[in-house]
Amino acid sequence: MNDASLGLWTVPIAVLGGAIRVSTPFLFVSLGELVTEKSGRINLGLEGTLIMGAMSGFGVAYLTGSPWLGVLAAGLVGVMFGALHAAICSLPRVNDIAVGIALMIFGIGLAFYLGKPLVQPKAPTLPALPLGFWSDIPQVRAALEVNALFIVGLVFTPILSWALANTRWGLIVRMVGDSSEAARALGYSPLWVRLYATCFGGFMAGVGGSFLSLYYPGSWSEGLSSGQGITAVALVIFARWNPLACFGASLLFGGAGALGPALQAVGVTSGTYLLNAAPYFLTLLILVFSSSSRRRVAGAPGELSVTK
């Protein structure tokens, strides 16, 4: 089979494969940010965390030869950034949004600085499952070459959704996010709960970053992230703080990102940038239509500064 015999089918097949690939970092960063926001805090610094994760994951995988150790290291670096964000935010009068921007600049700078020697070498990449084995069409096989982290995220999404709704921890996080007064009255410290929730968000963002350097594109460079960390923050709002919707939104955002290159392959070259910006536009529309000057965005945690 070749391109010609597939005709226009090459576009949706490529978009599917691309959506799975492009959505993976979105999925991880947004699930992490979702938990952070559920606890009543927003971490805009995840772009920095993501890039730090990409750099450190690549570095550790290169040095140890194990991509999974790289993923773990990226997550731990993310935890450190999350802890730093939470620690500063726990001081009085500190604006979580501003701290996020500061940590974004810091994380990007630090990753570029420490990552200078990593631009050349090759690190082992993460494995992928050939779920397209049943097809003899190379494009389908390529599209269904599903990376391991996506599958981890796929399994983790319903677990997180269930845990937030049903477990003691999920309840505490949501309570802190909806009313820190109530949480305090029941003897839970909002600052500590937010610390854990922000660290979890950092971990996930770090892992999401390691995907970029260890699977696709699979190398470390300074232009690695095209703002996935920032987009994921918007994505959580787009998904209205629902993990299952985060999964769908990640695929949608990933598909939008994959549509440009897929169209390019069949000769349509215009509009790539606008397609990449479509998720931002959609998120803005969602915000405009779901907010009102009198009530907060439906589904938003009560303590979250950005929806007050």
Name the site residues for another protein (rule: CB under 8 A): 44, 48, 84, 88, 91-95, 97-99, 101-103, 105-113, 116, 227, 230-231, 233-234, 237, 270-274, 276-277, 280-281, 283-284, 287-288, 291-296, 305-308
Structure token digits, residue 262? 């897929």
CB of residue 44 vs another protein: minimum separation in angstroms? 8
Among candidate residues 256, 251, 262, 257, the one with its CA nearest the CA of residue 6: 262
- By the 8 A CB rule, do 62 and 268 touch? no
Structure token digits, residue 300? 């938003």
Structure token digits, residue 52? 């730090």
> Within a 10 A sphere around the Cβ of 308, how many other Cβ atoms?
9
Buried b / exposed e along 124-139 (16+ C-beta atoms within 10 A): bbbebeeebeeeebeb
Nearer to another protein, 96 or 126 (CB): 96
Nearer to another protein, 109 or 130 (CB): 109
The one-letter amino acid at 86 = A
Nearer to another protein, 48 or 75 (CB): 48
CB of residue 22 vs another protein: minimum separation in angstroms? 16
Nearer to another protein, 86 or 149 (CB): 86
How many alpha carbons fall within 13 Å on the CB side of residue 158? 3
Among candidate residues 231, 282, 287, 218, the one with its CA nearest the CA of residue 67: 218
CB of residue 119 vs another protein: minimum separation in angstroms? 11
CB of residue 140 vs another protein: minimum separation in angstroms? 31
Nearer to another protein, 182 or 277 (CB): 277
CB of residue 150 vs another protein: minimum separation in angstroms? 24
CB of residue 99 vs another protein: minimum separation in angstroms? 5
Q: What is the dihedral of CA 126, 156, 255, 59, to 10 degrees?
A: -30
- Cα–Cα distance measured from residue 110 to residue 121, given in angstroms and rounded to the nearest whole number: 19
What does the angle CA 254 – CA 283 – CA 262 come to, to the nearest 5 degrees?
25
Nearer to another protein, 13 or 99 (CB): 99
Nearer to another protein, 19 or 103 (CB): 103
CB of residue 191 vs another protein: minimum separation in angstroms? 12
Cβ burial of 94 (10 Å; 0-12, 13-18, 19+) is exposed
- Cα–Cα distance measured from residue 235 to residue 267, given in angstroms and rounded to the nearest whole number: 30
CB of residue 121 vs another protein: minimum separation in angstroms? 17
Nearer to another protein, 139 or 231 (CB): 231
